[in-house]
Structure 1
């Protein structure tokens, strides 16, 4: 929950869905540079996570996109520390988090 806010959820007899939006903050170096601005969000990615209470769990995840006015680069942050000890991320979730 350090990087994402839960913006919604739905639980019915068939599945559980959770909507996660990346928190709107700049990394310290980007904030200090003063040249990075928000540039919208990525399209929603739906990731099937591990079942909970016998139901499939779907995560609807959105990242912010950022624009560096100096370099003209558009980017999103990636996170390498999202696993709790003793757990693993699915390859699909890891690939999504590393996308720009």
Structure 2
């Protein structure tokens, strides 16, 4: 059942969202749909050689997506951050790298 749910989400949302985020909840109103997404805990490929530990999340951002069946769609996105134990600095996924080679535009990636 979960796989078919993911396949359905891929038809409604940018594929990059489905690949890197989990849908945690949603709210549907008469003409509006709010989707709440949290970044999954998978180490960004640019940090695979580093020792990272998950250190929570950045503040939520909201991005308006394309309408679905007459409903305005708002994506409430919470990005993950990690502590790079080699450098002591906060690490996070570079969305401009992820956007290269995908259907997501650089403008969409810049919201992250």
Taking structure 2 as the reference length, the TM-score comes to 0.69
Separation in 1, partners of 2:43, 2:57: 14
The structure with the greater share of residues assigned to helix is 2
Unaligned runs of 5+ in 2: 1-17
Matches for 1:1-100 after TM superposition, within 5 Å: 1-27=18-44, 30-33=47-50, 35-77=51-93, 78=95, 79-80=98-99, 83-84=102-103, 89=105, 91=107, 93-97=108-112
Unaligned runs of 5+ in 1: none
Q: CA deviation at 1:30?
A: 3.8
- The size of the alignment, in residue pairs, is 92
Separation in 2, partners of 1:90, 1:68: 26
Matched residue, 2:13: none
Is the contact between residue 53 and residue 84 of structure 2 (CA under 8 Å) also seen in structure 1?
yes
